[in-house]
Amino acid sequence: MHGAGMLSDGVLQNQSWQSFAQVMVPKVEGGWLLHKLTQNQPLDFFVLFSSAASLLGSAGQGNHSAANGFLDGLAHYRRSMGYRG
């Protein structure tokens, strides 16, 4: 189970790379690391906690939306590769 969460709200044009990465890194690196470490493991489940923010977004949360979008994409990627966990 991957349940990382971090917020650093701000209008996108006012975001620094540091504040953007502060939100992205826990979700993106954490999710990818778990994916890599479990590729050859028999799993009963593989859970990534995302948010509707990846589709709907929210003012000032572009970084949060992008991070959740990555997790959604990772879940679809794993499914397309035949991973059932």
Tens digits of residue pLDDT in 9-20: 666 677 788 887
Domain span at 79: 25-31+41-85
Domain presence at residue 80: yes
Domains in the chain, number: 1
Give 2's strand partners. 48
- Cβ–Cβ < 8 Å for 68, 53: yes
Q: Which residue has the higher pLDDT, 40 or 77?
A: 77
Whether residue 8 has pLDDT greater than 90 = no
Q: What is the pLDDT of residues 23-32, one digit of tens each?
A: 888 889 999 9
* Nearest partner of 34 among 65, 67, 75, 64, judged by Cα: 75
Give the pTM.
0.79
Domain presence at residue 13: no
Give the Cα separation of 69 and 64 in Å (integer). 9
Domain presence at residue 5: no
* Nearest partner of 36 among 26, 46, 44, judged by Cα: 46
Q: What is the pLDDT of residues 33-73, one digit of tens each?
A: 999 999 989 999 999 988 776 677 666 677 888 888 999 99
